[in-house]
């Protein structure tokens, strides 16, 4: 094809010069033009012009075409001189112009036809954010097969009316008009460096529109190479609920870690595994992973080993299978590895399951903490940090009561001895943890619903897993022994509102009495055994601040060691007999604020009645 185009360019140049179309008339002229075409095709091939895929033809390809045409023209001039062909001097100049248009123009014409045909088949999208990330995203989508950007929106008034990548930048107030005009399938949030607060406000703006919202990867993933601008992700719930974390204090983070042997119990769990990821960044001499699940231990050990290699960290990682209830085994592990600091994250946390398995819940959450703490004292461990829960405050469930009793165990031990510093750190739900509503809602939405919520008024606190782990480590470094630290969880979140937001931002409409033709319904199932409408972080209002703005210290009642020991002996006897009523009564009699099963049943009935009345 290029040979015909070059021959046509020569004939066209000669016709423009001579005023009439004439084919070569002499052997010399035929030799010149045929050799020129052959040399030109060879040059085009060597410069890579024939390796370029037309639909992905980049502007740089024009340089290749220009170089080839200029080489072809020089060849034409040189051959006409040496072979003494009768070719007018202006013909090569005209030839160069026509050849450039023919060789380059035809390629771009075919490319535009292909892209135009593909564009009709692509899904239209609007990009929120006309900065560098938005511009790169629009370019990547243009050459892709699936999406085509039709407009930008940006909250920067200086950009309104300008064009980026050939697309107009609009005010976010015009989004409704743009949706009616283009009917986009998605809105893509291209602001990887925006703060959580800003992203949350933007998503609140986008929520009313029945269009799915996706986002590009965060700036840290883009910089590290873990992701590209063209990789689209579903909206993280952290963007809906998250707040901007405060940079951790290096002094507090490294105080009980750097150069020390650290043990994390429950190392394979949600909080335990994140603690491990944070800990290795602050240079422990050795990290002991204490976990009763073989599979969970394998996963976290493999992940951390890979991280150490990737980041060139010289830290010994030791995986230990074990249960905190086995005091002798725990003591052996602590002495063998000379552990200095323990983060006790091993616990049963699923409220309804523990309501049906009271003995096991008490054994693991209470006696697991008690035996590991006793072993820590005997092994002369310096620091012991318990990961507690907001459900320990005026608990209506066994899980919360067991965690409050575990706190009392450490408070009593802190008063009884001076070897080990015992610290309690209490916080609420973490986003994405096992048993969290967030992954459950995602799964239900992907199945087409319904989304199940226990009660229209149920409220919970949420925190991201990395922030929770960082604050736990810093709180552990603040205590002198026996304190109960409370983390600032931010504003409580109504779970029903969270469900509605997720439905809308995944591009669906809520199905209810006002909109029976919607996509996904929310079904209220009633509070489960042991659940409360509202979670609390403090038993009373007696709380003081610390040097960290998001860590507070609660002043709460404790039990004398002798009284606690007697209660634990009775509790142990009830557990041995699997006497669940006895366990429940004893837990109610202790100063835990535990209301027991009777209150739970009444609370559940009231919640179900309220849910029915709410429709």
Contact 307, 280 (CB under 8 A): yes
Beta bridge partners of 321: 291
Give the separation between CA 137 and CA 293, rounded to whole angstroms: 43
Is 547 exposed, middle or buried (CB count within 10 Å of its CB: 0-12, 13-18, 19+)? exposed
Identify the three-state secondary structure at position 567. Answer: helix
Distances (CA, A) of 343 to 155, 162, 365, 383, 538: 44, 54, 14, 8, 22
Please, which residues have CB within 8 angstroms of residue 248's CB and are 6 or more apart in sequence? 470, 473, 474
Report residue 208 CA to chain centroid gap.
23
Q: Sign of the CA dihedral 41, 45, 50, 52?
A: negative
β-pairing, 261-265 with 186-189?
A: unpaired
- 391, 403, 500, 511: the catalytic one is 391
Give the separation between CA 480 and CA 579, rounded to whole angstroms: 38
Please, which residues have CB within 8 angstroms of residue 144's CB and are 6 or more apart in sequence? 230
198 a catalytic residue = no
DSSP 82-116: HTT----TTHHHHHHHHHHIIIIIHHHHHHHHHHH
Distances (CA, A) of 553 to 12, 75, 218, 239, 483: 89, 86, 34, 28, 7
Which residues does the annotation mark as catalytic? Answer: 391
């Amino acid at each position: 094809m290029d040979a015909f185009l070059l021959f046509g360019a020569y004939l066209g140049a000669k016709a423009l010069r001579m005023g009439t179309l004439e084919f070569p008339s002499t052997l010399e002229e035929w030799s010149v033009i045929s050799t020129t075409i052959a040399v030109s095709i060879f040059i085009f091939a060597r410069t890579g012009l024939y390796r370029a895929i037309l639909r992905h033809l980049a502007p740089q390809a024009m340089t290749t075409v220009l170089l080839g045409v200029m080489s072809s023209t020089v060849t034409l001039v040189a051959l006409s001189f040496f072979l003494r062909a009768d070719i007018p001097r202006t013909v090569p100049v005209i030839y160069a112009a026509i050849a450039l248009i023919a060789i380059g123009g035809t390629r771009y014409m075919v490319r535009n036809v292909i892209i135009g045909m593909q564009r009709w088949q692509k899904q239209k999208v609007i990009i929120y954010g006309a900065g560098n990330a938005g511009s790169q995203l629009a370019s990547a989508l243009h050459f892709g097969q699936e999406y085509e950007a039709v407009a930008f929106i940006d909250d920067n008034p200086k950009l309104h009316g300008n064009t980026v990548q050939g697309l107009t930048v609009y005010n976010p107030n015009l989004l409704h008009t743009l949706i009616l005009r283009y009917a986009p399938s998605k809105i893509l949030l291209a602001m990887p460096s925006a703060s959580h607060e800003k992203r949350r406000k933007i998503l609140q703006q986008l929520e009313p529109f029945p269009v799915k919202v996706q986002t590009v990867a965060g700036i840290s993933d883009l910089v590290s190479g873990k992701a590209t601008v063209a990789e689209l992700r579903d909206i993280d719930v952290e963007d809906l609920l998250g707040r901007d974390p405060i940079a951790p204090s290096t002094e507090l983070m490294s105080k009980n870690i750097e150069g020390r042997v650290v043990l994390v119990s429950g190392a394979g769990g949600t909080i335990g595994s994140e603690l491990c990821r944070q800990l290795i960044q602050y240079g422990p001499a050795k990290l002991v992973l204490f976990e009763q699940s073989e599979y969970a231990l394998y996963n976290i050990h493999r992940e951390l080993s890979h991280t150490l290699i990737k980041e060139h960290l010289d830290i010994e990682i030791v995986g230990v299978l074990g249960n905190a209830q086995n005091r002798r085994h725990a003591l052996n592990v602590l002495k063998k590895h000379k552990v200095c600091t323990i983060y006790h994250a091993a616990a049963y946390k699923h409220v309804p399951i523990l309501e049906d398995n009271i003995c096991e819940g008490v054994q693991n959450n209470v006696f697991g903490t008690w035996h590991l703490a006793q072993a820590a004292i005997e092994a002369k461990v310096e620091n012991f940090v318990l990961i507690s829960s907001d459900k320990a405050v005026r608990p209506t469930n066994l899980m919360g009561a067991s965690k409050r009793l575990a706190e009392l165990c450490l408070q009593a031990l802190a008063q009884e001895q001076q070897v080990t510093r015992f610290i309690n750190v209490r916080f609420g739900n973490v986003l994405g943890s096992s048993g969290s509503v967030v992954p459950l809602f995602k799964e239900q939405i992907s199945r087409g619903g319904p989304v199940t919520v226990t009660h229209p008024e149920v409220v919970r606190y949420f925190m991201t897993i990395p922030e929770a782990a960082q604050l736990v480590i810093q709180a552990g470094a603040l205590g002198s022994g026996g304190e109960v630290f409370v983390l600032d969880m931010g504003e409580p979140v109504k779970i029903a509102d969270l469900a509605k937001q997720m439905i809308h931002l995944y591009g669906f409409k809520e199905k209810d009495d006002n909109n029976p033709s919607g996509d996904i319904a929310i079904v209220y199932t009633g509070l489960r055994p042991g659940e409360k409408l509202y979670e609390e972080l403090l038993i009373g209002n007696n709380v003081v601040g610390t040097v960290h703005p998001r860590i507070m210290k609660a002043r709460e009642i404790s039990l004398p060691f002798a009284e606690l020991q007697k209660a634990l002996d009775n509790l142990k006897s009830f557990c041995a007999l699997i006497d669940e009523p006895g366990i429940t009564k004893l837990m109610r009699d202790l100063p835990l604020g535990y209301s027991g099963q009777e209150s739970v049943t009444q609370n559940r009935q009231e919640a179900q009645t309220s849910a029915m009345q709410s429709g």
